[in-house]
Homo-oligomer: A and B are copies of this chain.
Amino acid sequence: MKIYLAGPDVFLPNAIQIGRQKVELCARFGLIGLYPLDNAIDLGAIDASEQIFRGNEAMMNEADAIIANLTPFRGPGADGGTVYELGYMAGHGKLCLGYSNEAALYVDRVRQFTAVTPNDGQLTDAIGMTVEDFGLADNLMIVQSLALHGHAMVTPQQPPADIWQDLSVFEACVRLAATRLPPTS
Contacts and interface: CB of A to CB of B under 8 A. Distances in A.
B87 A140 contact: no
A156 to B, nearest CB: 19
A94 to B, nearest CB: 8
A59 to B, nearest CB: 12
The prevalent SS among residues of A at the interface is: helix
A125 B144 CA distance: 30
A48 B134 contact: yes
Interface in A36-50: 48-50
Interface of A: 8, 10-13, 15, 48-50, 52-54, 56, 74-81, 83-92, 110, 113-114, 124-125, 127-132, 134, 136, 138-145, 147-148, 164
Nearest to A147: B50
Contact of A140 (B52, B113, B127, B141): B52
Contacts of A145: 53, 84, 88
Contacts of A50: 144, 147-148
Contacts of A140: 49, 52-53, 81
Contacts of A147: 50
Contacts of A110: 74
Contacts of A138: 80
A56 B142 CA distance: 12
